[in-house]
Structure formats: structure tokens, C-alpha cells
């Protein structure tokens, strides 16, 4: 059986195409930024979901992106963490931090808040 015959079996094709899609997205080192026209549930205003991109509530669209306390600066630090750690490791570590230290006081969030902290010093 060659590879195309293998792919024709749908139960293999779907995970294979999905994996290929993720791998291609993983090559993109610059994130897509999406502005969501709805509220992200909870207190969250934005979310970085590698390899898909950065999702920000559209009411924050007019923020100055050079401002160190802006959401986009914060989320870009998470994107840098993803580039540094890789896809699996980023999600694994984020989940681990989230479970052990909560959403706000874990080192990955501390690091993402650094640009803002440095400014206010
Ligand atoms: Zn964050």
C-alpha cells in the first residue's frame, strides 16, 4: 500500500492532515492576531494559543501597541515563550503553572507582565 492509498482511508487522512496543518502553523514564527467581536469568558481579555495566534477582545483593538502595558505586548511575551519552548512544551508548562500556581501568579504570567513592571519602576 502506497502513501496515497493510505491517505484515502479517511480515518488516517483526518489526523494526518490535522498534524500537517499544525506542523505548518508551527513554522510560522510571527503570530496572527485576531480581534474577537465577543467577550472571552471570565476575566480574561486576551489569549495566546500557539500555533494559531493571539486572540484579543475587539474592544482593546485601539490600544497603542508600543505601550509596555498593552495587551499585545503581554501576549507577545507569551508568543516568545512559545518560540523558546516549542509547541508541546509551552502548553504543557502553561497548564502545569496554571494548576500549581493559578492563572495570575505563575512564572509565565510574571514574565509576561515584565515589560509593564519595568516601565512603572
Ligand atoms: Zn498572560
pTM value is: 0.81
Greatest alpha-carbon span in the chain: 65
CA of 73 to the centre of ligand 1 (A): 10
Domain spans, the chain = 1-29, 31-120
CA of 6 to the centre of ligand 1 (A): 41
Burial label, 54 (beta-carbon count in 10 A; 0-12, 13-18, 19+): buried
- Residue 7: asked if its preceding bond is cis (omega within 30°), the reply is no
Per-residue pLDDT 10s for the chain (121 aa) are: 787 787 777 788 888 888 898 888 878 788 999 999 999 988 899 999 998 899 999 999 998 888 889 999 999 999 999 999 998 999 999 999 999 999 889 999 999 999 998 877 6
CA of 119 to the centre of ligand 1 (A): 17
71's CB contacts (< 8 A; 6+ apart) are 45, 46, 56, 60, 63
CA of 55 to the centre of ligand 1 (A): 12
Amino acid at each position: 500500500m502506497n502513501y496515497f492509498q493510505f491517505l484515502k482511508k479517511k480515518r488516517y487522512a483526518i489526523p494526518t492532515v490535522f498534524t500537517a496543518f499544525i506542523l505548518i502553523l508551527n513554522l510560522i514564527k510571527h503570530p496572527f492576531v485576531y480581534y474577537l467581536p465577543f467577550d472571552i469568558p471570565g476575566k480574561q481579555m486576551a489569549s495566546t494559543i500557539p500555533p494559531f495566534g493571539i486572540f484579543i477582545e475587539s474592544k482593546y483593538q485601539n490600544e497603542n501597541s508600543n505601550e509596555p502595558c498593552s495587551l499585545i505586548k503581554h501576549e507577545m511575551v507569551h508568543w516568545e515563550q512559545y518560540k523558546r519552548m516549542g509547541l508541546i512544551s509551552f502548553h504543557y508548562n502553561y497548564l502545569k503553572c496554571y494548576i500549581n500556581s493559578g492563572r495570575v501568579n505563575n512564572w509565565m504570567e510574571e514574565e509576561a507582565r515584565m515589560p509593564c513592571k519595568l516601565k512603572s519602576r
